[in-house]
Structure 1
Amino acid sequence: MIDGNNVKELNISWLRKHIGVVGQEPVLFNTTIAENIGYGADGATESDIQEAAKEANAHDFISKLPQGYNTLVGERGAQLSGGQKQRIAIARALVRKPVILLLDEATSALDATSESKVQQALDKVSKGRTTVIVAHRLSTIRTADKIVVISNGKVVEQGTHMDLLGLRGHYHALVNAQQLNAIDEIENKNEDKSEGKVQRLGRMTRTSTGSDFSIHEDERPTVIEDIEEHQPPPVSMMRILKKNMPEWPFILIGSLGSIVMGFAMPIFGVLFGDILGVMARPDDQEVRDGTDEYSLYFVIAGVAVGIATFLQIYTYGVAGEKLTMRLRGELFESMVQQEVAWFDKKSNNSGSLCARLSGDAASVQGATGQRVGIVLQSIATIGLGVALALYYEWRLGLVTLCFTPVILVAQYLFLKSSRGETFSNQQALEKSSKIAVEAVGNIRTVASLGREQTFHELYMLELLPAHKVALRNTHIRGLVFGLARSIMFFAYSTTMYYGGQLMVEDGIPFETILKVGQTLMMGTMSIANAIGFAPNFQKGIAAASHIFHLLDRKPQIYDPPQVSERNWTPEGNVKYQQVEFFYPSRPSISVLQGLNVDVLDGQTVALVGQSGCGKSTCIQLLERFYDPVSGSVCIDEHDVSSVTMHSLRLQLGIVSQEPVLFDRTIAENIAYGDIGRTVPMSEIIEAAKKANIHNFITTLPLGYDTRLGEKGTQLSGGQKQRVAIARALIRNPRVLLLDEATSALDTESEKVVQEALDKAKVGRTCIIIAHRLSTIQDADVIFVMNHGQVAEMGTHSELLSKHGLYYKLCSMQSGPR
């Protein structure tokens, strides 16, 4: 109900225009930052967009980007850190000036400093509008007018922050669970030395802006915007056929069938001329005997053509489908073997790549298979036709052949124009597919923004250029095809005219004239048929060019030569030594500047700092998604570039900030953590128990056989995160990487999962990236990163006693006391 009205009775578009939503996992579209924010409101001006970005604490980092508000964010915003994406999503919600603001963990991905700023902005913009906040981090809802505590689907408590603390019930327990009690202990110890210490700490919690930190918002790479995909060099027909060589018996049989079919029409012309000559004889018995004989010839020819047609279609069809399957497999294999930086390019988004997989591989059949058979059939027809024409009456044959160059010139002009059209169609298909995939994949966000019509218009807009080119070339195609068809009649007219003269002057039999005319007419018709298939043939050549261009590309990150795949089991010592790094798409901005980090076997190490300071980059370098510009990343004194990527990644278990699950069953998703063996169900269940997800799974009707839907949409954020944790644990990795692994969990689940992770960390190295500092208090060493370097290091208590950068981060997250 809204203002007493049932939402079911309200116009959906009108309703959503007055509601601003920021979800737990922000969805951005593969366009500029300005357009992403502008999607929040129709007719949003540049000043509106910048004002919303300022309110969301996003303007500063956007302004530092090379292209500013015109910077492409990448597919699903993949080129930005989690905090940056969240702030852009908040700006998108604010730009529409909604009456109702829905915040579903809107600040969950932000570091302490950014959260403090954004929370202040949200507090300001919440005035005068209804705001509904879903939160696990209770520090974000202290000033709420009413806090509703829900347990097992029921409201168990409600009131203000102070009211609920006074009840000492569910809410009080949640608040205590999120306290950084070590701060209290240190302050209590120092209370006698400085009576105002607690008051200063309280002021710091409310007003600190983290000025000691340099906001380093450059951790994620930007999309390479300026490089458009150029038309790849044409590929030879021979190379395409070589790819089909495993099916050479089928191709050979099909080719023989095509040749037989090509010979059929000229032979028909000869038989037709002969039988007309027989029918012109004065003796009735000779006519009867001759027609019987030639009728038998026609039957034999019909049987031969029928068998040849079957063999051509069947064998070429089998060879073509096998080629399509092979190309799709090789194309996908080549895609997944490319380095991560390759996917940062605008032209390599998921929509374009899916279009290549589905369209290009199938289009190659236009240059092989039955099209080749038809071309071969046409060559056989024209070849035998010309030979027979010259054999029976060379003068008449030469006159008729004068029309062939006209057809060949028309064919050349047509192919020249259709190649450009094919490339335009390919680009349009990839771009439109990208928009369709993005819109359908993020339909909830599209619907909440009311942008269904916008994406429809974008989709049609991408198709328009190719549509215009196709309309223009349709006239050329019609002219050429019409010429190829009409030339037969022109040639036939000339043949009959000149043949009549030869009959009168030289006494040539009329059946000879008919034979020459029929065989050459069939030849010109075959050329017309071949031209009819030219668009598919040209499209197949263009598709093959794209495919081989990608198959020939060598990944920039590859296994070292002459290193065999071996069962490498490291102890787990990790070392970053003088690591310098910038993303390939942004070489002018250095992310890591001489980073030095040592992690000993079995240690739990935490990396903390501002969003974009390089924390996630450290994990990406360890996983070898990128290689450092200088310096080294080592495991047990082995540079990660000196071992195979399979051996390396087999030793690493990772749980990312935004868990990615597949449209398979829960059991299969967990088992994907160790694909080197068949994981028994008992281990899957054990891993799920450690991740605190087993009890939930057992309540589902299908249990572990429940399909999760695309990207795991059937589960909540916390449930998806726990499945991802179970997937990481099942491979028993030597090094466990947790990139905000518990950021999406509620306080109770986080506490249970944290206990499970504490058990899982025993006996293995663990590197944790965290904004929620309550999850890393027990870490053996905490590294505070700033300017791409380590600014502070030590245990939780040691860093607090320094009253430095870490102390300020903790202060902002300490919560109410």
Structure 2
Amino acid sequence: MGKREKYSLDKKNKSPLDVEFTKNEEKEGDKTKQVSFFQMFRYATGFDKLLLSIGIISAVGTGVLQPMNTILFGTLTGDIIKYAASKFNHSMSEDDRIKAENDFFDGVQYFAMMNSIIAVGMVIISYISTVTFNYSATRQVFRLRSTYLSKILNQDITWYDMHQTGDFSSRMTEDLFKFEDGIGEKVPMFLNLQIVFFVSLIIALVKGWELALICLTSLPASLIALGIVGLLTTKLSKKELDAYGTAGAIAEEVLSSIRTVIAFGGQHKEIERYGNNLIFARKNNIKRSLLSAIGFGILWFLIYSSYALAFWYGVKLVLEQRDWENPVYTAGNMVTVFFSVMNGSMNFGISSPYIEAFGISKAAASKIFSVIDNTPTINLSKGKGEILDTLKGNIKFRNVNFHYPSRPDVTVLQDLSLDIRAGDTVALVGSSGCGKSTVIQLIQRFYDPVAGEVSIDGKNIKDLDLTWMRTNIGVVGQEPVLFGTTIMENIKYGNADATEDDVVVAAKKANAHTFIKSLPNGYNTLVGERGAQLSGGQKQRIAIARALVRKPSILLLDEATSALDNNSEAKVQAALDSASVDCTTVIVAHRLSTIQGANKIMVFSKGAVVEQGTHDELMALKNEYYNLVTTQVKSKETVTQYSKSDKTQEYDDDIDEVVPVEASFAAEDDEDDFVSDRNMRLIDVIKMNAPEWPQIVVASIGSTVIGCAMPIFSVLFGSIIGTLANSDTEYVRTETNKYVVYFVIAGAVAMVSVFLQMYMFGIAGEKMTERIRGKMFSAMLNQEIGFFDKKTNGVGALCAKLSSDAASVQGATGQRVGVVLQSMATFCLAVGLAMYYEYRLGLVTVAFMPFLLIAFFFERRNSSGQNDTRDQSLQKSTKIAVEGVGNIRTVASLGLEEKFHHLYISELLPHYKNSSSASLHWRGIVFGLSRGLSFFAYSAAMYYGGYLIKNENLSYEKVFKVSQALIMGTTSIANALAFTPNFTKGLNAAKSVQKFLERMPKIRDDMNSKDVNEVEGDISFAKIKFAYPTRPGTTVLRDLDLRIFKGKTVALVGQSGCGKSTLIQLIERFYDPTGGEVMLDDIDVKRMKLRSLRSHLGIVSQEPNLFNKTIRENISYGDNGRVVQMDEVIQAAVNANIHTFISGLPKGYETTLGEKAVQLSGGQKQRIAIARALVRNPKVLLLDEATSALDTESEKVVQEALDQAKLGRTCITIAHRLSTIQDADMICVIDRGIVAEAGTHAELLEKKGLYYKLQRQTT
């Protein structure tokens, strides 16, 4: 603890800092409003409402038609019993007997005819309800996706600071799938179940209210159980979505920073971090399964118990009224009442999967709607502000006070006043974190001041139309963001009206035209996600061209040339100077030589301007600015003295003109690493659940038992009905009591079976889902870097795949597998019983099944193709959406909100247009047939059964047993087919998952790889040839030879894009050379285990990636192979000159940085990244422009720390500021893919070659 206190600052002395951190360090769950079921349809248009109305009417129609069967069956039952009784009545005449026989068969024919009419109605109406709701759901979700992205892109930056957006991809995929599941065909299915329940209830009450009420004794308890389960599952579903959302945010963050993760061996740590959220989701969902299992187990017991009571009491009433002249309760009436209640109760009982789906859907909707309903404080809506005739560019700050909304206790600007006249160039200088970049953000109105006013041309910017205002402002940031499209489009993003000629002119001004034209596809070259395939300097030049093509009235340059080599910087600076003549220019710069010509220089300190004036005026003051300048000048004196005599020479060579491109541009092809030709079956998905075989076995037994319960019920029912024709009242009572006990036992068995089915399948499904997500994420992190370079493997696409595939597989497992097994058991036992009691009846009914199977085959074939189209469309569109949301500051600055929305919709349209395809209609046909065929089969069975009773003296008891068993069997198929879409999606997703997991990384350890625990640090490149995998036609390195001896510092210099960073990537083994060898201590790096190799390397990149963790965790990330002690973290921070800043924060080292650490200045991020590398204590230190983002004071201190860190280590440094590498043991000039010159600083200057020319450009 002593060490910590030694480095801490007194709080009262802390400086106002240009930094703010998101509140997820003290994050509480978002409070989202509950969404009612009807509110989920808020995006239904008039046409959708028409479709929904038709669907609802159809669902009500099927709900009314279905119970009519019960009335018909009750009447037929009475006719059959009368006919059976007539056979025992020996006093009847032959004519009466023939009449009874004819009446009986007329009743059978009437039943068959009317039931067939009902069957036709069920097929047609079920088709209509399914198609209308599914089509409407697709339309609504399309509209919701569009609205959600539009709303989130139009939120103000404060909202982004206060909310986690890394989970955006899971919201766009997984949450919206679940939402769609709750507003599609399951709605009419559920409505049908409830209408059947209520209509059956009415029929029962009309036919025999007393018996009906007895049957309904379990209803209140059932409703209470369902209500409680529904509320609890919805609550738990919200927690599930939160957990998966957080996991999605981690995945997005990690995949966006994949090079950093791999370089520091953080894969295991990130997999664990991701997995912790999966563990929470699994435990939460198992709890949900437990509650559902208990609730529905009790429900089934209550239903069976009410059956027992109903039969007992019903038979009692029938026997009591047997001798009445006009009995209220006959056998037919009793059957009608009982079956009405049973049919209604069963429909009520099988509502559980639908209720769970609606609860999950509502939870998903509440998350999405909370964003949509949020009104931003800074509103982009057009027409909300004033549009001036012209924007001149007079900028004024009047007594501006500011702190970031998420960190109100850290003051950034204090009573700041400044005037910037139109057309002037004003430079803001000062130490890192003093408020300079905040001024840039306030001018763009990313935030509003806490107090004071920012005005442009005398108008408070709050009163100006924000979209219009930003179109007049050009911005180039320190870490330029490019988008995953062509160079042409990236530059055009600066000005949608720009012609190709305008783009070329802007590129020439930015010194980018030559290198662009050297690419095989020129301006049509794809740059990869975030421009990751370009060097830092190339990205910066394209970003500058993007700003220049805008022809802005105000130009904001935040370290715009920091990533450029000296040659490019000189030319680009000249272009910027030329461009600034026609506009107001505000420059934030650490290289003070680039701003000496500014009309005014403002020196910032602690959130206020402490000095301002021209360069000469401020130098004359010999104060803050003077100290900054002299510090920089001293560092350049050694360089300058070698070239004073040659000042008059001009150097016009454009080395960049012939430089091979140091980039792996995104693949032009659409090679898909995940498409599998192997068909997946349901059994294959179940095999993925193999580790959970104990739970699956128990759950399967439970499913089978509950499935068998219904056919067994039909046997019990047939037996009871069979006794009613017997004239011995006591015998009937005795038999009835026996079967009633059987019913109660069956209820107890059903309760246990349902509990085991739901709970055990819940456990198995959740464990498999956790495993699939975890394995997919692990597989992603273990792929080679070249995999991520491919166009199809962008962060958004991978995140979409991670969430959507896992969610789809989950949809084909768990309780839904239970429903299928239950239905199969019901059908198989029903057919078995039918064959046992009367095989002819069984064959007649089974003959209808091929029609359903044929329709199912066509639906499966069509939906499979549609799902492939959907998945590709959603992955591409989600990639675009994630790119836009993840780079919101650039999107907002360029006014690209509508552009990204349009691109997203364009990619989404194929899926939307395909939604009305043949598969939609086949789905309706299959579901309609599954509903109607059972009625056709029932009609055929009863007609043929009646024929056999009449002509072959078949026992009517057997007919009842067989017909009831078969009706339950065919109905069970319909229930199983309700989840066909889930299984179809699940099978396709399982195929995709399997293919992904089978993909072997092209760079991996093999049997010959070995651990190397100690290295000296000798590095050699021998005859290296290299082209990036996705651009094999562009050679980057050509037979390059380079030897770096242990403990030596070697600097790599050369024009931007010449291959310097490629060498570092080859050492890290991000890629393997296409020819030659990279060796460490004379061992080919291919023979070393990847983790072992990288453990000896420490890297600081030009654009450091920090994580949404605490500062302590970010620095500790430098060594993931052990627990880094706090005193080591602090020492590394001190060495990187960042400790004072950290100590001044309210939570110090425990402060969470937030997503992408966007609230840190570039210099602050760079220093934390340096501390991260230092804590690793590597044998080889790789510095790729490690100090480019630092102010002069920080650079000096950090450079001293790095010089100290280099002692005893091999160091490879890439730098454009030659002053930082003049003490290197060897300087290598990379040109045209080879080492063109090598030597010490003095030796190379004496040669007056390439290095000399590069140096000349710094003076």
Q: How many residues align?
A: 800
Check conservation: 1:328, 1:357, Cα contact below 8 A.
yes
Asked if 1:515 corresponds to 2:961, the answer is yes
**Which position in structure 1 is the counterpart of 2:17?**
none
The one-letter code sitting in structure 1 at the alignment partner of 2:667 is I
What does residue 654 of structure 2 align with? Answer: 211
Pairing 1:318-467 to 2, within 5 Å after superposition: 318-467=763-912
* Structure 2 CA distance for partners of 1:666 and 1:243, relative to 1, 3 Å: same
Q: How far is the alpha carbon of 1:236 from its aligned partner?
A: 4.8
The answer to whether 1:178 aligns with 2:632 is yes
**Letter of the aligned partner of 2:894 in structure 1?**
L
Partner of 1:46: 500
Structure 1 residues 753 and 469 mapped into 2: Cα distance closer, same or farther (>3 Å)? same
Structure 1 residue 65, shift from structure 2 partner = 1.8
Give the distance between the partners of 1:614 and 1:551, measured in 2 at CA: 33
1:497 aligns with 2:951: no
**Equivalent residue letter for 2:764:** A
CA distance in 1, matches of 2:1149, 2:812: 46
In structure 1, the gaps of 5 or more residues are 192-196
How far residue 519 of structure 1 moved from its aligned partner, in angstroms, is 1.0
Alignment partner, residue 478 of structure 1: 924
Cα pair distance change 1:274/1:45, threshold 3 Å = farther
Q: CA deviation at 1:237?
A: 4.4
Partner of 2:670: 227
1:116 equivalenced with 2:116 (yes/no) = no
Contact 1:117 1:209 in 2 (8 A): no
Local SS of the residue matching 1:282: coil
Give, in whole Å, the separation in 2 of the partners of 1:562 and 1:793: 35
Shift of 1:497: 1.7
Displacement, 1:357?
Answer: 1.8
Work out whether 1:4 is the aligned partner of 2:448: no
Superposed CA offset, 1:279-310 (max 9, x none) = 33333323322322222222211221121111
Which of residues 633, 647, 652 in structure 2 aligns to 1:198? 647
CA gap of 1:564–1:579, structure 2 versus 1, over 3 A, is closer
Q: Is the 8 A contact 1:277 1:511 kept in 2?
A: yes
Task: Within 5 Å, give how 1:727-738 maps onto structure 2.
Answer: 727-738=1172-1183
Match of 1:677 among 1119, 1122, 1127: 1122
Contact 1:29 1:77 in 2 (8 A): yes
Candidates 1024, 1033, 1037, aligned match of 1:579: 1024
Q: Secondary structure at the match of 2:1219?
A: helix
Mapped partners of 1:446, 1:784: distance in 2:
37
Classify 1:564/1:632 alpha carbon distance in 2 versus 1 (closer, same or farther; 3 Å). closer
Instruction: Indicate which of 624, 628, 634 corresponds to 2:1079.
Output: 634
| Range that drifts further, 151-160 or 268-277 | 151-160
Contact 2:655/2:1055, CA 8 A, preserved across alignment: no
Q: Secondary structure at the match of 1:620?
A: helix
Work out the CA distance in 1 between the residues paired with 2:729 and 2:908: 67
Paired residue type of 1:186: Y
How far apart, in 1, do the equivalents of 2:473 and 2:926 lie?
57
Partner residue of 2:549?
95
Q: How far has the Cα of 1:241 moved from its partner?
A: 3.2
State the Cα deviation string for residues 530-553 of structure 1 (Å, max 9, x = none).
Answer: 222111111111111111111111
- Distance, in Å, in 1 between the alignment partners of 2:699 and 2:1155 is 42
Moved more, 515-524 or 690-699: 515-524
- 8 Å CA contact 2:482, 2:490 repeated in 1: yes
For residues 489 and 212 of structure 1, the distance between their equivalents in structure 2, rounded to whole angstroms, comes to 83
TM-score, normalising length: structure 1: 0.95
Query: For residues 133-152 of structure 1, what are the structure 2 equivalents within 5 Å?
Result: 133-152=587-606
Residue-by-residue CA offset, 1:404-457 (whole Å, 9 max, x unaligned): 111111111111111112212222221222122212211111111112222222
Confirm or deny: 8 A CA contact 2:855 2:922 kept in the other structure. Answer: no
Please tell me whether residue 131 in structure 1 is matched to residue 593 in structure 2.
no
Residues 624-646 of structure 1, C-alpha deviations (whole Å, 9 max, x = no match): 11111111111111111111111
Q: Which amino acid in structure 1 is aligned with residue 1142 of structure 2?
A: I
- Displacement of 1:696 in angstroms is 0.5
Please give the alpha-carbon distance, in whole angstroms, between the structure 2 residues aligned to 1:511 and 1:45: 86
Corresponding position of 2:1214: 769
Is residue 800 from structure 1 mapped to residue 1256 from structure 2 by the alignment? no
Partner Cα distance (2:898, 2:788) in 1: 28
TM-score, with structure 2 as normaliser:
0.62
Distance 1:373 1:152 in 2: 65
C-alpha offsets along residues 690-735 of structure 1, whole Å, 9 cap, x if unaligned?
Answer: 0000010000000000111111212110000000000000011000
- Could you tell me how far 1:762 is from its partner in structure 2? 0.8
CA distance in 1, matches of 2:901, 2:725: 69
What is aligned with 2:1155? 710
Q: CA deviation at 1:107?
A: 0.9
- Local SS of the residue matching 1:91: helix
Which residue of 691, 702, 712 corresponds with 1:246?
Answer: 691
Partners of 2:944 and 2:686 lie apart in 1 by 43
CA contact (8 A) 1:217 1:611 kept: no
User: Any residues of structure 2 matched to 1:749-760 within 5 Å, and which?
Assistant: 749-760=1194-1205
- Report the Cα distance in structure 1 between the residues aligned to 2:655 and 2:491, rounded to whole angstroms: 30
| Change over 3 Å in CA distance of 1:213–1:458 after alignment to 2 | closer
Determine which of 1227, 1233, 1236 is the counterpart of 1:782. 1227
CA offset digits 1:351-382 (Å, max 9, x no partner): 11112222212322333332322222222111
Give the secondary-structure state (helix, strand or coil) at the position aligned to 2:1056. Answer: coil
Does 1:160 pair with 2:603? no
Name the stretch that deviates more: 146-155 or 598-607. Answer: 146-155
Q: Which amino acid aligns with 1:93?
A: A
Task: Choose 278-287 or 55-64, whichever is displaced more.
Answer: 278-287
2:760 is aligned, of 299, 315, 318, to 315
Question: Using a 3 Å threshold, how does the CA distance of structure 1 residues 18 and 572 change in structure 2: closer, same or farther?
Answer: same
What residue in structure 2 maps to residue 301 of structure 1? 746
Q: Does 1:268 align with 2:722?
A: no
Which position in structure 2 is the counterpart of 1:194? none
How far is the alpha carbon of 1:564 from its aligned partner?
4.0
Match of 1:563 in 2: 1009
* Distance (Å, rounded) in 1 between the aligned partners of 2:566 and 2:1239: 19
- The sequence identity of aligned pairs, in percent, is 59
Tell me if the contact between 1:232 and 1:545 (Cα under 8 Å) persists in the aligned partners. Answer: yes
- Structure 1 Cα separation of the partners of residues 549 and 1010 of structure 2: 56
The answer to whether the Cα contact below 8 Å between 1:560 and 1:643 also exists between their aligned partners in 2 is: no
Conservation of the 8 A alpha-carbon contact between 1:139 and 1:813: no
Q: Secondary structure at the match of 1:268?
A: helix
Larger Rg: 2
Q: 1:45 to 1:807 in 2, by over 3 A?
A: same
* Equivalent-residue separation in structure 2 for 1:518 and 1:463 (angstroms): 48
Deviation of 1:217 (Å): 5.0
Is the contact made by 1:213 and 1:805 (CA closer than 8 Å) also made in structure 2? no
Contact 1:259 1:377 in 2 (8 A): yes
1:13 corresponds in structure 2 to 467
- Write the distance in 2 (CA, Å) between the matches of 1:309 and 1:184: 85
**Cα root mean square deviation, aligned:** 1.7
| Contact 2:660 2:1233 survives alignment (8 Å) | no
Distance apart, 1:213 and its partner CA: 5.7
Matched residue type, 1:777:
Q
Shift of 1:802: 2.0
CA distances 1:206-234 after superposition (whole Å, capped 9, x unpaired): xx333356542510101112124273222
- TM-superposed CA distance for 1:748, in Å, is 0.9
1:235 shift after superposition? 3.4
